[in-house]
């Protein structure tokens, strides 16, 4: 894998063909491919700005969402994206399917394929599960989040939203602070790949118990040996993470973390790490505030910050539909030796 | 017939002559289980860890007896090197799972024995985590009848469970199991649940002259773990199994052993499948202090590392940086296979290149007495699932020799030490138990004239490809599938009887 250093905004990345049959994480994407996704997302935003937000690009194509973890917003975002492209959408929810009767993932996917699924949008609680799906599914797998591992559409919508909001649309050298439960976060992991590829000055911040292992990762990537990646920083010092930041992103803190002995209390977490007005004032005056949702307002983020003029949280939601449209469009148009899409198959 | 290293074939068998009598590729050789009537091998490299001798030589087997062992010198020995056909005593695996009774879909005594012989093994000790657990003599009798029915000459030994039903609450029928011939006790698959029960087990087994074989794992620290805690697990979002998950258990076990020795000088502890540098260091120090503890390491912890889960396939020693840390497979572009391959999910998990190097160092300096396969076959149902849901274990009894020969080829391990780790090393672990039951055969077996032939012949100049078809085990859960391994096993003779013959033998 080679990751090409980000080109100066918009220049010189025109002739990129999409060749990925699946998208499971951003780690496989070159910078020109990420730029292609950003440009395609821009076009999709144009569609969403029209009075009739629907184009026939995926007319007759079958998109199946298979969500093993409860998620309303992400599933709805994918399904809206698919419908905006005129795809037929089937939703499979484990609670109402034979998954609860002990059917294996492999059998479920073979069954969905036999029922005509062409693009499978999948969310699963076990890291790596979509790779297993991709191995046996003859169509396209688009990862909607797997375990602690990856959430590529979130990272790409985050990247898009940051570029929309930072001066010049270029993240090189821009300080991005991600604060919260890094250890269990697929959002953080995918953002590490995309933001270091974008040349951002990335800071991951949280209490030591929720950062375990990331210091080692940061040290490895900061050794200067990593081609195409910016280094990233790991700290439990919230002030250091936020100082002069261009982008501040909060991550959800889950109640289970206390039962696991990783946090004394949500109250203590909020006291030490909550993104509130006082802490945000350490960031640059024009800094934006992000959150992948769903938020625990009053825990990781203060309610007034979440709805403040700095917040682009609703932009993230809107851009999520556009990014997912872009990826469905690119995946549906991809061909490789292992798979040829035959219209009317 | 007379055979030189390189070309190969077996003579007829006792009581069977002519084409109808054989099933080998020659159509003339004996079938598995039949006595090897006559086999001669000229100009091979003999390795005899019992006498400590290795070099050019010739062997003759007549009526299952190793009739002569001739060491060649001078002109006769010319051109014979340790890079060609090698003869060694049959291997002894002190840790394998043949899944019978209870999990015959994954393996049976018959298929496991065939796989063992393909790997060069003539003696295998089975772990008792069957269904039902081997915690009383009746279950051992079932295993024994499966052995008899298999027709395989591979000798099958058995451990009894430490606790009844492996439940960790009360002791199994340890005395009755000893009378029935178990060679030790283990709750493998899990550690002996409490230090209190371990102490009782060490005392009771010590009284019976048998060892406790312990799977060291701190279940509190490893709950929910999917992979060795470290860089790879962090990047891949896998729940980490901290090094302390093994080290704290080894510390507990050693402390309890030291305590038990005061009451029962015969108490003996063997720690199986150690995988981390600090755990091996603890054993090294305990042994130096005179504690009666032994340990083994597995081929997979010697040769594979956690980066394989990300998709790397280079040997552990090739993943070790000059400063003793692990190289970075993402930086190196070393990811050549798909990630999250469940054949790599194993307990304890594959660790770092430094840990693998520590396993090797322990083997070289004798801290680890043996290489044990922890052969753990699983069905596709248990492995073709999400990584975090996959059963732990690697089907490894057929690939152990090849993995060790890869270490030898890389100059990391002398051939004689590799062979000792498969023969005299494991025998010493078990011999130290005392065998009060008197059922265990005399070990170690060497290349001893006049004794029943118990040996393996393999060709270092030839390799073999690991495939679902080439593995005789029912368990195809090997991360080496698709890979070429050095050292094709040509022939395995167990107790004078044919255990395995390479199908292509005698093709010329």
% chain A with pLDDT above 90: 80
In a domain, B230, yes or no: no
- Count other Cβ atoms within 10 Å, centred on residue A225: 13
Contact B328 A212 (CB under 8 A): no
Contact B328 A220 (CB under 8 A): yes
CA distance A240 to chain B (A): 23
Look at residue B331 in the predicted model and tell me its pLDDT.
86
Distance CA A297, CA A303 (A): 5
Sheet arrangement for strand A288-290: A232-235, A201-205, A175-179, A247-250, A288-290
Category of B15 on φ-ψ map: left (φ > 0), alpha (ψ -120 to 50) or beta: left
Look at residue B444 in the predicted model and tell me its pLDDT.
67
In a domain, B444, yes or no: no
Rg of chain B's alpha carbons, rounded to an integer? Answer: 22
Backbone angles phi, psi at A155, to 5 degrees: -60, -35
The verdict on B255 and B296 lying in the same domain is yes
Q: Is the pLDDT of residue A340 over 60?
A: no
Look at residue B410 in the predicted model and tell me its pLDDT.
98
CA distance A87 to chain B (A): 29
Check: CB of residue A254 under 8 Å from CB of residue A241: no
**The dihedral formed by the CA atoms of A167, A172, A173 and A176, expressed in degrees to the nearest 10:** 80
Is A341 within 8 Å of chain B by CB? Answer: no
Look at residue A258 in the predicted model and tell me its pLDDT.
78
Is A227 within 8 Å of chain B by CB? Answer: yes
Check: CB of residue A11 under 8 Å from CB of residue A140: no
- Count other Cβ atoms within 10 Å, centred on residue A259: 9
In a domain, B326, yes or no: no
The verdict on B453 and B424 lying in the same domain is no
The verdict on B278 and B350 lying in the same domain is yes
Contact A148 B238 (CB under 8 A): yes
Contact B387 A146 (CB under 8 A): no
Distance CA B114, CA B111 (A): 5
Among 3.40.50.620, 2.60.40.10, 3.40.50.1370, 3.40.190.80, what is the CATH number of A26-151+319-332? Answer: 3.40.50.1370
Distance CA B91, CA A328 (A): 56
Distance CA A85, CA A219 (A): 43
Backbone angles phi, psi at B59, to 5 degrees: -130, 150
The verdict on B160 and B274 lying in the same domain is yes
Residue in the block written with tokens 């709950």: B223
Q: Is the pLDDT of residue A281 over 50?
A: yes
The verdict on B8 and B151 lying in the same domain is no
Pick B231's closest partner by Cβ from A106, A216, A226.
Answer: A216
CA distance B305 to chain A (A): 17
CA distance A206 to chain B (A): 15
CA distance B331 to chain A (A): 5
Contact A131 B340 (CB under 8 A): yes
Distance CA B11, CA A285 (A): 89
Give the helix, strand, coil percentages of chain B, each rounded to 5: 30, 20, 45
CA angle A297-A300-A303, nearest 5°? 30
Confidence of residue A344 (pLDDT cuts 50, 70, 90): very low
Last residue of a domain, one of B401, B431, B461: B431
Q: Is the pLDDT of residue A337 over 50?
A: no
Look at residue B418 in the predicted model and tell me its pLDDT.
98
Confidence of residue A256 (pLDDT cuts 50, 70, 90): confident
Which of B230, B237, B310 to probe by mutation at the A interface, max A CB count within 10 Å?
B237
What DSSP character marks residue B379? Answer: -
Contact A212 B333 (CB under 8 A): no
In a domain, B442, yes or no: no
Confidence of residue A10 (pLDDT cuts 50, 70, 90): very low
Pick the closest to residue B339 from B308, B381, B300 (CA basis).
B308
Distance CA B449, CA B446 (A): 9
Indicate the pTM of the whole model.
Answer: 0.93
Look at residue A96 in the predicted model and tell me its pLDDT.
62
Distance CA B216, CA B249 (A): 5
The verdict on B84 and B94 lying in the same domain is no
In chain A, ranges of CATH 3.40.50.1370 domains: 26-151+319-332, 168-312
Residue in the block written with tokens 């030994």: B157
The verdict on B362 and B300 lying in the same domain is yes
Confidence of residue A255 (pLDDT cuts 50, 70, 90): confident
Q: Contacts of residue B384 in chain A, CB cutoff 8 Å?
A: 104, 106, 132
Q: Which positions of B are catalytic? A: 374
Q: Contacts of residue A191 in chain B, CB cutoff 8 Å?
A: none
Distance CA B261, CA B267 (A): 6
Distance CA A42, CA A9 (A): 14
Look at residue B61 in the predicted model and tell me its pLDDT.
97
In a domain, B156, yes or no: yes
Pick the closest to residue B393 from B486, B286, B485, B273 (CA basis).
B273
Pick the closest to residue B460 from B54, B15, B52 (CA basis).
B54
Pick A135's closest partner by Cβ from B231, B240, B338.
Answer: B338
Confidence of residue A227 (pLDDT cuts 50, 70, 90): low
The verdict on B260 and B356 lying in the same domain is yes
Contact A217 B240 (CB under 8 A): no
Distance CA B66, CA B449 (A): 5
What is the H or E stretch that residue B427 is in?
A: helix B424-431
In a domain, B235, yes or no: no
Look at residue A71 in the predicted model and tell me its pLDDT.
87
The verdict on B361 and B265 lying in the same domain is yes
| Residue B484, Cβ density class (10 Å: 0-12 exposed, 13-18 middle, ≥19 buried) | exposed
Return the SS3 of B45: strand
Return the SS3 of A339: strand
Confidence of residue A201 (pLDDT cuts 50, 70, 90): very high
Distance CA B161, CA B173 (A): 9
Q: Contacts of residue A132 in chain B, CB cutoff 8 Å?
A: 340, 384-387
Look at residue A224 in the predicted model and tell me its pLDDT.
63
Tokens representing residue A137 in the block? 């599914």
Which of A22, A102, A127 to probe by mutation at the B interface, max B CB count within 10 Å?
A127
Q: What's the count of helices (H) and strands (E) in chain A, helices before strands?
A: 13, 9
Pick B230's closest partner by Cβ from A105, A132, A216.
Answer: A216
Return the SS3 of B62: strand
Counting every residue written for chain B, the total comes to 508
Q: Is the pLDDT of residue A295 over 70?
A: yes
Pick the closest to residue B122 from B447, B462, B343 (CA basis).
B447
In a domain, B290, yes or no: yes
Tokens representing residue B180 in the block? 């029935």
Q: Give the β-pairing of A119-124 and A201-205.
A: unpaired
Look at residue A152 in the predicted model and tell me its pLDDT.
98
CA distance B287 to chain A (A): 33
Confidence of residue A97 (pLDDT cuts 50, 70, 90): low
Category of A344 on φ-ψ map: left (φ > 0), alpha (ψ -120 to 50) or beta: left
Pick the closest to residue B424 from B55, B47, B50, B45 (CA basis).
B50
A202-217 pLDDT, tens digit each = 999 999 999 999 999 9
The verdict on B289 and B185 lying in the same domain is yes
Q: Give the β-pairing of B484-494 and B497-501.
A: antiparallel
Contact B229 A227 (CB under 8 A): no
Look at residue B19 in the predicted model and tell me its pLDDT.
35
Which of A25, A27, A128, A190 to probe by mutation at the B interface, max B CB count within 10 Å?
A128
Instruction: For residue B118, give its domain range.
Output: 90-217+242-305+341-431
Average pLDDT, 10 consecutive residues per value, chain B (508 residues): 52 37 48 96 96 96 97 95 97 98 98 98 98 97 97 97 97 97 97 98 97 98 97 97 98 98 96 98 98 98 98 98 92 94 98 98 98 98 96 98 98 98 94 49 78 97 98 98 98 97 73
Return the SS3 of A81: helix
The verdict on B373 and B471 lying in the same domain is no
In a domain, B179, yes or no: yes
Look at residue B10 in the predicted model and tell me its pLDDT.
63
Listed in order, strand segments (DSSP E) in B337-479 are 370-371, 455-465
Is A66 within 8 Å of chain B by CB? Answer: no
Tokens representing residue B127 in the block? 């772990």
Which of A30, A110, A213 to probe by mutation at the B interface, max B CB count within 10 Å?
A213
Confidence of residue A306 (pLDDT cuts 50, 70, 90): very high
Return the SS3 of B195: helix
Return the SS3 of B501: strand
Contact A131 B328 (CB under 8 A): no
Q: Number of structural domains, chain B?
A: 2
The verdict on B71 and B154 lying in the same domain is no
Residue in the block written with tokens 């002030």: A239
Distance CA A37, CA A168 (A): 18
Residue in the block written with tokens 């919508």: A157
Q: Give the β-pairing of B269-271 and B293-297.
A: parallel
Q: Contacts of residue A147 in chain B, CB cutoff 8 Å?
A: 237-238, 388
Q: Is the pLDDT of residue A99 over 60?
A: yes
CATH code, domain carrying B379? 3.20.20.140
Q: What is the ipTM metric for this complex?
A: 0.91
A34-86 pLDDT, tens digit each = 999 999 999 999 999 999 999 999 999 999 999 999 888 999 999 999 999 99
Dihedral sign, Cα of residue B76, residue B80, residue B85, residue B89: positive
Domain A168-312: state its class: alpha beta
As a whole number of angstroms, the longest Cα–Cα distance in chain B is 65
CATH code, domain carrying B478? 2.30.40.10
Tokens representing residue B322 in the block? 């000059």
Which has more confidence, A6 or A218?
Answer: A218
């Amino acid at each position: 894998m080679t990751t090409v250093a980000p080109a100066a905004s918009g220049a010189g990345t025109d002739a990129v063909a999409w060749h990925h049959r699946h998208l499971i994480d951003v780690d496989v994407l070159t910078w020109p491919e990420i730029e292609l996704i950003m440009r395609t997302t821009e076009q999709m935003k144009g569609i969403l700005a029209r009075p009739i937000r629907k184009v026939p690009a995926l007319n007759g194509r079958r998109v199946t969402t298979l969500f093993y973890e409860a998620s309303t917003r992400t599933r709805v975002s994918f399904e809206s994206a698919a419908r905006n492209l005129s795809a037929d959408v089937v939703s499979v929810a484990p609670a109402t399917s034979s998954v609860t009767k002990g059917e294996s993932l492999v059998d479920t996917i073979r069954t969905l394929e036999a029922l005509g699924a062409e693009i499978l949008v999948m969310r699963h609680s076990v890291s790596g599960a979509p790779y297993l799906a991709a191995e046996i599914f003859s169509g396209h797998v688009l990862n909607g989040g797997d375990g602690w591992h990856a959430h590529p559409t979130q990272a790409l919508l985050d990247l898009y939203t940051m570029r929309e909001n930072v001066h010049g649309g270029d993240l090189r050298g821009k300080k991005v602070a991600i604060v919260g439960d890094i250890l269990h976060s697929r959002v953080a992991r995918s953002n590490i790949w995309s933001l270091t590829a974008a040349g951002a000055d990335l800071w991951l911040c949280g209490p030591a118990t929720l950062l375990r292992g990331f210091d080692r990762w940061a040290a490895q990537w900061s050794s200067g040996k990593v081609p195409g990646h910016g280094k990233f920083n790991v700290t439990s010092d919230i002030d250091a993470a936020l100082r002069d930041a261009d982008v501040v992103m909060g991550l959800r803190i889950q109640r289970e973390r206390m039962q696991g002995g990783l946090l004394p209390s949500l109250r203590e977490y909020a006291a030490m790490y909550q993104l509130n007005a006082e802490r945000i004032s350490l960031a640059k005056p024009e800094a934006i505030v992000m959150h992948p949702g769903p938020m625990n307002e009053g825990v990781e983020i203060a309610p007034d910050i979440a709805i403040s003029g700095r917040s682009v949280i609703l932009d993230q939601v809107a851009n999520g539909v556009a990014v997912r449209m872009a990826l469905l469009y690119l995946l549906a148009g991809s061909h490789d030796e292992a798979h040829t899409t035959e219209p009317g198959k | 017939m007379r055979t030189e290293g390189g070309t190969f074939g077996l003579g007829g068998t006792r009581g069977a002559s002519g084409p109808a009598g054989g099933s080998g590729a020659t159509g003339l050789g004996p079938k598995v289980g039949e006595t090897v009537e006559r086999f001669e091998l000229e100009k091979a490299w003999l390795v005899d860890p019992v006498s400590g001798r290795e070099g050019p030589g010739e062997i003759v087997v007549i009526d299952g007896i190793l009739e002569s062992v001739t060491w060649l010198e001078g002109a006769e020995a010319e051109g014979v090197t340790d890079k060609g056909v090698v003869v060694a005593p049959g291997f002894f695996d002190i840790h394998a799972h043949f899944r019978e009774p209870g999990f015959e879909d994954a393996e049976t005594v018959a298929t496991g024995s065939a796989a063992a012989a393909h790997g060069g093994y003539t003696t295998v000790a089975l772990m008792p985590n069957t269904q039902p657990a081997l915690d009383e003599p009746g279950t051992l009798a079932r295993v024994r009848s499966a052995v008899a029915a298999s027709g395989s000459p591979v000798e099958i030994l058995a451990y009894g469970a430490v606790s009844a039903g492996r439940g960790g609450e009360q002791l199994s029928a340890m005395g009755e199991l000893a009378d029935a011939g178990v060679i030790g006790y283990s709750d493998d698959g899990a550690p002996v649940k409490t230090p209190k029960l371990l102490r009782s087990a060490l005392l009771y087994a010590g009284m019976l002259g048998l060892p406790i074989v312990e799977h060291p794992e701190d279940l509190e620290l490893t709950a929910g773990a999917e992979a060795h805690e470290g860089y790879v697990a962090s990047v891949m979002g896998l729940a980490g199994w901290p090094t302390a998950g093994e080290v704290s258990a080894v510390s507990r076990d050693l402390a309890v052993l030291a305590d038990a020795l005061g009451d029962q000088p015969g108490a003996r502890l063997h720690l199986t499948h150690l995988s981390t540098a600090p755990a091996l260091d603890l054993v090294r120090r305990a042994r130096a202090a005179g504690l009666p503890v032994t340990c083994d390491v597995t081929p997979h912890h010697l040769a594979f590392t956690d980066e394989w889960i990300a998709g790397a396939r280079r040997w552990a020693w090739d993943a070790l940086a000059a400063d003793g840390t692990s190289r970075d497979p993402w930086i190196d572009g070393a990811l050549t296979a798909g990630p999250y391959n469940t054949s790599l999910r194993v307990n304890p998990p594959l660790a770092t290149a430094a840990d693998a190097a520590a396993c090797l160092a322990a083997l070289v300096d004798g801290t680890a007495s043996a290489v044990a396969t922890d052969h753990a076959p699983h069905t596709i149902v248990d492995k073709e699932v999400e990584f975090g849901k996959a059963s732990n274990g690697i089907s490894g009894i057929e690939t152990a020799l090849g993995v060790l020969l890869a270490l030898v080829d890389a100059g990391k391990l002398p051939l004689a030490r590799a062979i000792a780790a498969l023969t005299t090393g494991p025998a010493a672990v078990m011999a130290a138990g005392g065998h009060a039951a008197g059922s265990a055969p005399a070990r170690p077996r060497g290349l001893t004239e006049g004794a029943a032939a118990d040996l393996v012949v393999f060709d270092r100049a030839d390799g073999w490809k690991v495939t679902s078809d080439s593995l005789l085990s029912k368990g195809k859960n090997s991360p080496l599938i698709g890979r070429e391994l050095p050292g094709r096993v040509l022939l395995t003779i167990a107790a004078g009887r044919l255990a395995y013959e390479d199908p292509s033998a005698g093709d010329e």
